[in-house]
Chain A
Amino acid sequence: MLIADFPLFPDQASTMASKVDNLYLFLIALCGTVSVGVFLTIFYFAIKYRRRPDNEIAEDYEPPKILEVTWIVIPSILFLGIFVWASWVYFQLARVPDNSLQIYATAKQWMWKFQHPTGQREINELHVPVNRPIKITMASEDVIHSLYFPAFRTKMDVLPNRYRTMWFQATKTGRYHIFCAEYCGTLHSGMVGWVDVMEPTAYQTWLAGGSEGSLASQGEKLFQKYACNTCHTNDASGRGPVLIGVYGSSVMLSDNTIVPADDNYIRESILNPQAKIVKGFGPPSVMPTFQGQVSEDDLLKLLAFVKSLGSTRTAAPAVASPQSSTTTAAAQTTKEPKKKP
């Protein structure tokens, strides 16, 4: 597929790449045949039946009507097939595998910031191990961006004020493009970077290089800095609910609705505590809003910390919050990325 000096086909460097490419090649074959067929037929008719003195008047002939049915039914069936195939690929792109390595990303005009659970931070560079599913949780600090890995055939818009997750599993080591695919202002075309896919051992060495402590431990420091710990203590004595085991559980709210405590819930709890108030703690909630005080990066660290509390939940038998019954039920949904071995 490669012509010496310039490529006609992108690198296939993820588990999804060949699946997307197969669909693409199939569509080229099918649609190519149809388009070329239409082209040639027109051209052939235009020459064969060109207007000549003996052909001034078109023949009094209509093709059989059954043709009409043919070209309604056959394309419809083909379309249905393509739709099913394409949706199958889409589902795979959308479903994050359970054992993924967690990475956080923040988009802002005009750079990508990545944070590893072990605390490494990178800008416009991303180091990942090969053959390991990587899950990226991301949000934007300003406008909509889109994180695009052409070699992995995946991209996703990054929205302000909301976490979204995407995933990929690289299959080939090397350096591949990262692009911002959603127009985001002046330096949109400069919002690019590289993803470095490394052998697991090389990745370990890279990880061992400088870090300010794991993301969760940085989050713990922030937890103290923002005085969260004054209310969220480890026993039920504080003014706020105990946060141990909250992540991944289902929380009963003061209006008796139950919501899952996922990334976006934690985020909202910090930025806008009044929006969803835990039963027994209001309304109103005494928790102040941290909107405008905590940066996206710090939010991610706090999130990582709250998540790390979740994973120890089985060990800590403490009653997590006033409605412990709901937390136990949801404990098995907690999918924590494995810590650094």
Chain B
Amino acid sequence: MSDLAFEHGEEHPPHPFLQHHFEDLGQQHEASTLGMWAFLCTEILFFGGVLLAYWVYRIMYPAAWALGAEQQNTLAGGTNTLVLIVSSLTMALAVRSAQLNNRRGTVLMLILTLIFGTMFLGIKSYEYHAHWMEGLFPGAHWHWQPKDPAISALTPKVQLFMVFYWGLTGLHALHMVIGVGLLLYILARAWRGDFHAEYYAPVEVMGLYWHFVDIVWIFLFPFLYLIPHVGAHHVG
């Protein structure tokens, strides 16, 4: 049974970023991307949980949901959607540059992604500020009332809508903030010249995360800003 023994021929010295428990960079790359995908599965179910609650109440209280969406700044939300899509594009290009050994391209694209990501957060905080001032923050600070007193009965339900608004966008913004932090780290490494055609998994993984956050927003925008009054025009 000595054939079980495994002869380890002397090979060239290991790559500096190869962790000791992996055989080679390929294995390490596959492990990191699979890890990120698995993490994104978790994230999908994480957001899925709130979305489930959101939909249950959206079906129960369509009028309040429509009224809630009316309070949103569609221009800001739409702009942000575009901003995020652009940042996704630049992120994808950053990965591509890394794949092609293009250090300058990688750095440039990462910086652009960073700029757009921050821009998104800026616009978002502007919206948050406006909501806060209008009393659209649920809880003790809430003091918003519909202009038409006849529909004031909808107020608690609109507050519920706003819970989901703050919850969903807040969770998304939290992901963006983490994303920006990660981007800074990746940028520093790219600057240092860590990445090249054989070792760019961190950039790729960063990209997966960033695109996922973008996808979340693709859904949040219509869910929170663009709800029509289905068959319930009388309330609005």
* Chain A bound to chain B: yes
Contact call B151/A283, Cβ cutoff below 8 A: yes
Complex: A283 Cα to B149 Cα, angstroms: 11
Which residues does chain B contribute within 8 Å of A284, judged by CB atoms?
A: 150-151, 153
Which residues does chain A contribute within 8 Å of B234, judged by CB atoms?
A: 254-255, 283
Minimal beta-carbon separation of A55 from chain B (angstroms): 24
- Interface assignment of A275: CB less than 8 Å from any CB of chain B: yes
Complex: A275 Cα to B156 Cα, angstroms: 12
Contact call A274/B231, Cβ cutoff below 8 A: no
Contact call A283/B150, Cβ cutoff below 8 A: yes
- Interface assignment of A218: CB less than 8 Å from any CB of chain B: no
Which residues does chain B contribute within 8 Å of A274, judged by CB atoms?
A: 151, 153-154
Complex: A147 Cα to B134 Cα, angstroms: 45
Contact call A289/B153, Cβ cutoff below 8 A: yes
Contact call B231/A272, Cβ cutoff below 8 A: no
Of B150, B151, B153, B154, most A-chain CB atoms within 10 Å: B153
Number of interface residues, chain A, beta carbon within 8 A? 9
B210-236 interface with A by 8 A CB criterion? 231-232, 234-235
Which chain A residue has the least Cβ–Cβ distance from B236? A283
Which chain B residue has the least Cβ–Cβ distance from A257? B231
Contact call B153/A275, Cβ cutoff below 8 A: yes
Which chain B residue has the least Cβ–Cβ distance from A289? B153
Complex: A275 Cα to B232 Cα, angstroms: 12
Minimal beta-carbon separation of B41 from chain A (angstroms): 30
| CB 8 Å contact bits of A111-127 with B (1 = contact, 0 = none) | 00000000000000000
Complex: A283 Cα to B235 Cα, angstroms: 7
| CB 8 Å contact bits of A249-291 with B (1 = contact, 0 = none) | 0000011000000000000000011110000000110000100
Which residues does chain B contribute within 8 Å of A273, judged by CB atoms?
A: 153
Minimal beta-carbon separation of B73 from chain A (angstroms): 27
Which residues does chain A contribute within 8 Å of B153, judged by CB atoms?
A: 272-275, 284, 289
Complex: A44 Cα to B150 Cα, angstroms: 78
Which residues does chain A contribute within 8 Å of B150, judged by CB atoms?
A: 283-284
Which residues does chain A contribute within 8 Å of B154, judged by CB atoms?
A: 274
Which residues does chain A contribute within 8 Å of B231, judged by CB atoms?
A: 255
Complex: A22 Cα to B153 Cα, angstroms: 51
Contact call A255/B151, Cβ cutoff below 8 A: no
Which chain A residue has the least Cβ–Cβ distance from B149? A284
Which chain A residue has the least Cβ–Cβ distance from B150? A284
Complex: A272 Cα to B150 Cα, angstroms: 13
B139-160 interface with A by 8 A CB criterion? 150-151, 153-154
Which residues does chain B contribute within 8 Å of A272, judged by CB atoms?
A: 153
Which residues does chain B contribute within 8 Å of A283, judged by CB atoms?
A: 150-151, 234-235
Minimal beta-carbon separation of A265 from chain B (angstroms): 15
Minimal beta-carbon separation of A322 from chain B (angstroms): 16
Minimal beta-carbon separation of A282 from chain B (angstroms): 8
Complex: A61 Cα to B10 Cα, angstroms: 45
B2-55 interface with A by 8 A CB criterion? none
Which residues does chain A contribute within 8 Å of B151, judged by CB atoms?
A: 274, 283-284
Minimal beta-carbon separation of A254 from chain B (angstroms): 6
Which chain A residue has the least Cβ–Cβ distance from B62? A255
B143-179 interface with A by 8 A CB criterion? 150-151, 153-154
Minimal beta-carbon separation of B236 from chain A (angstroms): 10
Minimal beta-carbon separation of B159 from chain A (angstroms): 15
Complex: A284 Cα to B149 Cα, angstroms: 9
Complex: A289 Cα to B153 Cα, angstroms: 9
Complex: A255 Cα to B231 Cα, angstroms: 7
Minimal beta-carbon separation of B191 from chain A (angstroms): 58
Which chain B residue has the least Cβ–Cβ distance from A284? B150
Which chain B residue has the least Cβ–Cβ distance from A286? B150
Which residues does chain B contribute within 8 Å of A289, judged by CB atoms?
A: 153
Which chain A residue has the least Cβ–Cβ distance from B230? A255
A255-B232, A283-B234 are known; give 11 further A-B pairs, CB within 8 A. Answer: A272-B153, A274-B153, A274-B154, A275-B153, A283-B150, A283-B151, A283-B235, A284-B150, A284-B151, A284-B153, A289-B153
Q: List 7 A-B contacts (CB under 8 A).
A: A254-B234, A255-B231, A273-B153, A275-B153, A283-B150, A283-B235, A284-B151
Closest CB pairs A-B (n = 10): A274-B153, A284-B150, A283-B234, A255-B232, A254-B234, A255-B231, A283-B235, A284-B151, A255-B234, A283-B150
